[in-house]
Amino acid sequence: MSELVNLHVDGPIARLTLGRAEKLNALTIPMLEGLDAACARLERADTVRVVLVDSSNPKAFCAGADIAEWGALSAQDMWRLWTRIGHRIFDRLAAVPQPTMALIHGMAFGGGLELALACDLRLATADARFGMPEVKVGAIQGWGGTKRLARLVGVGRAKQMIFRAMQIDATTALRWGLVEEVVDASELHRHAQEIAAEIAAGAPGAVRLAKQLIDLEVGGLSAETIAAGLAASFEDGREGVAAFNEKRPAQFKGL
């Protein structure tokens, strides 16, 4: 990791912060490499139960991919150094075992919106704006945005946003299902911390299994049955039942 991407762990909650504030966190290869390193650390962090993805700039979550970095690339290098690497890293972020939540204030455009889409949950401020402006510069989404956007808002709305380079506000994003909640900017971090604490209070093994099941492209009752049986075999599963019966708070320890 670098100063461009910082991962700070405070007990069960980690905060991954984009630190290129002066450029509205426009994404570069070094930033992608920082995200990759953060994911590697999270994959090994058994004590971390929730990850908040944040920005160091209150005016922007992320303005997108830095056109100054990718604009001059050849077609081969665009594939080899930009879309291929970025796609792999965003997929890796989506697959970290802990639930992730993007804290979106200001703009989330292009690759910045793709970054938010790679998270499990999205909490936005009332002034947040969302867009996929790539077609205006003759480009297309390269980091999983087309599929992830369509899954959240529906195919028609995804096509409308992409074809028209359409921006939507936080109210529309909430109505369309692009974000889970909209709060006042002054409440963003406090409310995010509350949500993270609620998630962290659950049995981590069960939460991680639930994430994997929800994210399965092909799944069914048999997969849920196996996972439910596995969860019940964990020490946390037995502790949860015992705490319920004894009418006391559960003391979860991990897998």
Rounded Cα distance, 69 and 83, in Å: 12
* pLDDT the model gives residue 41: 97
66 phi and psi angles, rounded to 5 deg: -75, 110
pLDDT digits (tens, 9 = 90+) for 94-112: 999 999 999 999 999 999 9
* pLDDT the model gives residue 252: 85
- Enumerate the β-bridge partners of residue 131: 109, 167
As a three-state string, the secondary structure of the chain is CECCEEEEEECCEEEEEECCHHHCCCECHHHHHHHHHHHHHHHCCCCCCEEEEEECECCEEECCECHHHHCCCCHHHHHHHHHHHHHHHHHHHHHCCCCEEEEECCEEECHHHHHHHCCCEEEEECCCEEECCHHHHCCCCCCCHHHHHHHHHCHHHHHHHHHCCCEEEHHHHHHHCCCCEEECHHHHHHHHHHHHHHHHCCCHHHHHHHHHHHHCCCCCHHHHHHHHHHHHHCHHHHHHHHHHHHCCCCCCCCC
51 phi and psi angles, rounded to 5 deg: -125, 125
- Kindly name the residue from 22, 33, 43, 114 that is annotated as catalytic: 114
Rounded Cα distance, 67 and 180, in Å: 30
Measured in whole angstroms, the distance separating CA 241 from the mean position of its chain's CA atoms is: 31
Strand order in the sheet with 167-169: 60-62, 107-109, 129-131, 167-169
Q: Is 22 a catalytic residue?
A: no
* pLDDT the model gives residue 255: 61
Task: List all residues 6 or more positions away from 71 whose beta carbon is below 8 Å from its beta carbon.
Answer: 137
By percentage, how much of the chain surpasses pLDDT 70?
92
Rounded Cα distance, 120 and 94, in Å: 7
pLDDT digits (tens, 9 = 90+) for 174-217: 999 999 999 999 999 999 999 999 999 999 999 999 998 898 86
Q: Is 114 a catalytic residue?
A: yes
pLDDT digits (tens, 9 = 90+) for 114-145: 999 999 999 999 999 999 998 888 788 889 99
What is the pLDDT confidence band of residue 240, given thresholds at 50, 70 and 90? confident
Task: List all residues 6 or more positions away from 70 whose beta carbon is below 8 Å from its beta carbon.
Answer: 78, 82
C-alpha neighbours within 13 Å on the C-beta side of residue 58: 7
C-alpha neighbours within 13 Å on the C-beta side of residue 226: 6
- Using a 10 angstrom Cβ sphere, with 0-12 exposed, 13-18 middle and 19 or more buried, the burial of residue 50 is buried
Highest mean pLDDT pick, 10-14, 142-146, 245-249: 10-14
- Kindly name the residue from 3, 69, 134, 239 that is annotated as catalytic: 134
* pLDDT the model gives residue 229: 67
CB 28 within 8 A of CB 75: no
* pLDDT the model gives residue 219: 52
